[in-house]
Amino acid sequence: MDKKRVLIVDDEKDLCRILKLNLEDTDKYEVLTLSTPRDILSHVQSFKPDVILLDLLMPELNGIEACEMLNKSPVDGKKIPIIIISALDKDEDKIRAYKKGASDYLVKPVERDELIAKIENILQRGKG
């Protein structure tokens, strides 16, 4: 079985480590973590993720801006599904995220099973 590739971009390094361990523990995912979205496009080109988890609030470039940038620069002609992750549970943030191309929105703390279910659902939708 081919592992699905997940790119996690979050300035909270501990959260990146926990999410990475939780996903890799299932043996279904190969995970790359970034603590800043600064070089996200080059990492997306080389890693070719199947899904991207983006923190909403980061220095330099927030998750909404990164989401918009990624959707304007598809990899190999296809847009990569993006899940925005945030500690903020505000409807206006969710609406902005969806308008900029996010596939889903999760509120921290993210439960392992919920995260895996969201990823699997997005990957299944992409096959349809």
Range of the domain at 104: 4-127
pLDDT band at 128 (very low <50, low <70, confident <90, very high): very low
Q: In CATH, what number is assigned to the domain containing residue 71?
A: 3.40.50.2300
As a whole number of angstroms, the distance between CA 70 and CA 100 comes to: 10
Look at residue 127 and tell me whether its pLDDT is greater than 70: no
Q: Are 51 and 122 in contact (CB under 8 A)?
A: yes
Domain total for the chain? 1
Considering the chain, what is the average pLDDT of its residues? 92
Look at residue 117 and tell me whether its pLDDT is greater than 60: yes
Q: What is the reported pTM?
A: 0.93
pLDDT tens readout for residues 66-113: 999 898 887 777 789 999 999 999 999 999 999 999 999 999 999 999
